[in-house]
Chain A
Amino acid sequence: MDIELPESIRAHLPVLVVLLPLFGGLLAMFTGLVQRGGGVIAWAWSVLTTALMLICAAAMLQQVHASPEPLVYRLGSWPEAYGIGYSVDALNAYVILVVSIIAFLTTVYAKDSVMAEIANDRHHLFYSVWLLAIAGLIGITVTGDTFNIYVLLEISSLTVYTLVALGGDRDRRALVASLKYLILGSIGATFILLGIGYLLMLTGTLNMTDMHDQLVRMREAGDLVNNRTVFVSFAFLMVGLSLKMALFPLHLWLPNAYTYAPSAVSALVAATATKVGVYMTFRFVFTIYGGVYDTSADLQLLALCACLGIVVSSLSAIRQMNVKKVLAYSSVGQIAYIVLGFSLANHAGVTASVIHIFNHAIIKGGMFMAVGAVALRTGGTKIEDFKGIGRQMPVTMAAFTVGGCGLIGVPLTSGFISKWYLVQAAMQEGYWGVAGVVLLGGVLAIIYVWRLVEIIWFGTPDDPSKRVKEAPLSMLIPMWILIGASLYFGVDATWTADSAQAAASLLLNGGHG
Chain B
Amino acid sequence: MAANNQPESGGEQMSQQTLLRVIAKMTIPFILTFGCYVILHGELGPGGGFQGGVIVAAAFILYGLVFGADELRRRIPTSIIDACMALGALLYAGVGLACVLRGGTFLDYGMLKPDHAGDGEALGMSLVEYGVGLTVASVMVTIYLMISERRATLRKGEVS
A residues sitting closer than 8 Å to B (CB atoms) are 12, 15, 19, 22-23, 26-27, 29-30, 32-33, 73-77, 124-125, 128
Query: B104 near A: Cβ within 8 Å?
Result: yes
**Contact between A77 and B90, CB atoms less than 8 A apart:** no
List residues of chain B with CB under 8 Å of any chain A CB.
79-80, 82-83, 85-86, 89-90, 93, 96-97, 99-100, 104-110
- Bound CA span A12–B82, Å: 30
Given A19-B93, A23-B90, A26-B93, answer yes or no on A32-B105 (Cβ-Cβ < 8 Å): no
Choose among A15, A23, A33, A125 the residue that contacts B105 (Cβ–Cβ < 8 A).
A15
A–B Cβ pairs within 8 angstroms, 28 of them:
A12-B100, A12-B106, A15-B100, A15-B105, A22-B93, A23-B90, A23-B93, A26-B86, A26-B89, A26-B93, A27-B86, A27-B90, A29-B86, A30-B86, A32-B79, A32-B82, A32-B83, A33-B79, A33-B80, A33-B83, A73-B105, A75-B106, A76-B99, A76-B106, A76-B107, A77-B105, A77-B108, A77-B110
How distant is the Cα of A74 from the Cα of B99 in the complex, in angstroms?
A: 13
A-B contact count (CB 8 A): 52
A340 to chain B, nearest CB (A): 38
**A19 is contacted by which of B86, B106, B108, B109 (Cβ under 8 Å)?**
B106
| Contact residues in A for B109 (Cβ distance below 8 Å) | 76
B107 touching A75, Cβ below 8 Å:
yes
Question: Given that A15-B106, A75-B107, A76-B105 are known contacts, is A29 also in contact with B83, CB under 8 Å in the complex?
Answer: yes
- State in angstroms the CA–CA spacing of A32 and B79 once bound together: 6
Q: CB-CB < 8 A to A23: which residues of B?
A: 90, 93, 97
Q: How far is the CA of A33 from the CA of B97 in the complex (A)?
A: 24
A29 nearest in chain B by CB position: B86
Query: Which chain B positions have C-beta within 8 A of A73?
Result: 105-106
Q: What is the CA–CA distance of A76 and B107 in the complex, to the nearest angstrom? A: 5
**When A and B form their complex, which 5 residue pairs have the shortest distance between CB atoms, in order from nearest?**
A29-B86, A76-B107, A26-B86, A15-B106, A77-B108
Bound form: Cα–Cα A12–B100 in Å: 8
Residues on A with C-beta less than 8 A from B105 are 12, 15, 73-77
Residues of A within 8 A of B80 (CB): 33
Determine the residue in chain B with the shortest Cβ distance to A125. B82
Query: Which residue of chain A has the shortest Cβ distance to B86 in the bound complex?
Result: A29
- The chain A residue with its CB closest to the CB of B82 is A32
* Closest B residue, CB atoms, query A8: B103
Q: How far is the CA of A32 from the CA of B81 in the complex (A)?
A: 10
Which B residues are CB-close (under 8 A) to A15? Answer: 100, 105-106
